[in-house]
Structure 1
Amino acid sequence: MAESRITSEGRTTVPAEVRSALHLKPGTRLQWHVTPGGEVIVRTKALSLLDLAGLVEADKHVHVEDMNPWR
């Protein structure tokens, strides 16, 4: 069983064997869920549409005429 310790700042390190088994890389986001029974479930966070917001230039407007590939 893997184990880690919480620092006074509330930080912890995911043990190497867990990072390896889950293919976790730096920058991977984790979601923490506490069940009513007090168990903790930790999952990797998949990208949502909201996470993709801002990746494309939103202020660039294209006219319908410019979208026609047969000009």
Structure 2
Amino acid sequence: MPRKTGQSKPPPLVKAGCGVRFDPEQLDEDTGFDFSGAADLLEEEKAQQEIDKSEQETLTADEKNPAKAGQSAE
């Protein structure tokens, strides 16, 4: 079964030193990238990493001292 390809085409590229980049003359409001939510996403990601780190530290502390974690050390 053949797969359907995307409907949009990438904007034209121009040479730029040792790489390529989009041709700025071909970009308009409908082409390009929207990074308006990037800062908010970064803050959410940092907050989640802090939560994960805190949870991992709690788990590690509980493993070292099971009596404090509500488990009896026998």
Bigger fraction of residues in helix: 2
TM-score between both structures, scaled by the size of structure 1: 0.30
| TM superposition score normalised by structure 2 | 0.30
